[in-house]
């Protein structure tokens, strides 16, 4: 069976009501998590969380607005690469870094993994790769975070084998089998939040887990079908589709056979 190790690579803060409608004006902490997935004798990193590169590229200029809207708290020792090294795992020990999407708090550490393969939704990268200036900022994408040789190292999940999913994962019926994972990891589209937004079903000894990325920012969202503030629609790729995905998570939760993990799940 596969395993998942969780790392918290910094956090940002924001008003609770932005992440969950009606939650009030208190300021909440939203951790930026990365996950180490081990399956079939190989290891993959799911997202990177924050890294010093994010601070470097948002210190001044247009992208400083990113940090003004979501103030970031990060220490270099919290970088996913640093935490992996402390566990005796280097970049060469990874089969790849899988990107759920291209928001800055998910890709900030890519430059810390020289030579490592990257995997993402090809459609997501094609929709993101040319974004610059205000267009990039509105989509939460900081171009300077991308390694110069990203396109030489990236593979797209659309090339993976598509497989029917176990009945326990209903209402999700089909996913992309992660190569060399012994059928224990399936990548699925969770559209709406960002272009090419992905989740991963991972079969662990305790049952199936869905790494749902930013498909919600609070468990209350999928448990009670309460979305974020309508202001959050300004950064959504497609608000209507986001809410359709939220309804899928609600149905999955009601089935009671899958644990859902959100990247930024905090106190809400």
Residue 266: inside a domain: no
Whole-model pTM over 0.85: yes
Residue 200: inside a domain: yes
Average pLDDT over residues 127-148: 97
pLDDT at 163: 98
Q: Are 201 and 188 in contact (CB under 8 A)?
A: yes
Residue 218: inside a domain: yes
Q: What is the pLDDT of residues 167-218, one digit of tens each?
A: 999 999 999 999 999 999 999 999 999 999 999 999 999 999 999 999 999 9
Q: Which two tokens stand for residue 15?
A: 């008003």
Q: What is the pLDDT of residues 77-119, one digit of tens each?
A: 999 999 999 999 999 999 999 999 999 999 999 999 999 999 9
**How many domains does one find in the chain?**
1
pLDDT at 18: 87
- The boundaries of the domain holding residue 141 are 3-261
CATH number at residue 143: 3.60.15.10
Residue 187: inside a domain: yes
Q: Is 61 exposed, middle or buried (0-12, 13-18, 19+ CB in 10 A)?
A: exposed
Residue 268: inside a domain: no
Q: Are 219 and 260 in contact (CB under 8 A)?
A: yes
Long-range contacts of 150-156 (CB under 8 A, 24+ apart): 150/110, 150/118, 153/115, 153/116, 153/117, 153/118, 154/117, 154/118, 154/119, 154/120, 154/125, 155/96, 155/117, 155/118, 155/119, 156/119, 156/120, 156/121, 156/122, 156/125
Residue 75: inside a domain: yes
Residue 267: inside a domain: no
Interatomic CA distance for residues 34 and 215, integer angstroms: 15
Residue 165: inside a domain: yes
């Amino acid at each position: 069976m596969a395993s998942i190790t969780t790392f918290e690579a910094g956090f940002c803060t924001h008003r609770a009501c932005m992440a969950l409608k009606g939650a009030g004006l208190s300021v909440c902490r939203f951790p930026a998590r990365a996950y180490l997935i081990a399956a079939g004798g190989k290891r993959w990193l799911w997202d990177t969380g924050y890294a010093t590169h994010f601070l470097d590229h948002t210190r001044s200029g247009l992208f400083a607005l990113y940090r003004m809207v979501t103030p970031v708290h990060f220490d270099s020792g919290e970088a996913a690469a640093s935490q992996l090294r402390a566990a005796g795992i280097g970049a060469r020990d990874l089969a790849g870094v899988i990107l759920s999407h291209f928001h800055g708090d998910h890709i900030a550490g890519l430059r810390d993994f020289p030579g490592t393969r990257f995997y993402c939704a090809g459609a997501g990268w094609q929709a993101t790769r040319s974004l610059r200036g205000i267009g990039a900022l509105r989509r939460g994408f900081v171009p300077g975070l991308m390694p110069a040789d990203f396109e030489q190292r990236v593979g797209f999940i659309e090339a993976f084998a598509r497989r029917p999913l176990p009945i326990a994962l209903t209402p999700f019926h089909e996913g992309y089998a992660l190569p060399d994972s012994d059928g224990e990891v399936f990548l699925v589209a969770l559209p709406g939040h960002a272009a090419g937004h992905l989740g991963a079903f991972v079969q662990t000894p305790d049952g199936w887990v869905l790494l749902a990325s930013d498909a919600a920012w609070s468990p209350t969202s999928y448990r009670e079908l309460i979305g974020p503030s309508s202001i959050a629609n300004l950064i959504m790729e497609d608000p209507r589709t986001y809410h359709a995905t939220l309804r899928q998570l609600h149905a999955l939760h009601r089935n009671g056979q899958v644990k859902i993990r959100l990247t930024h799940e905090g106190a809400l």
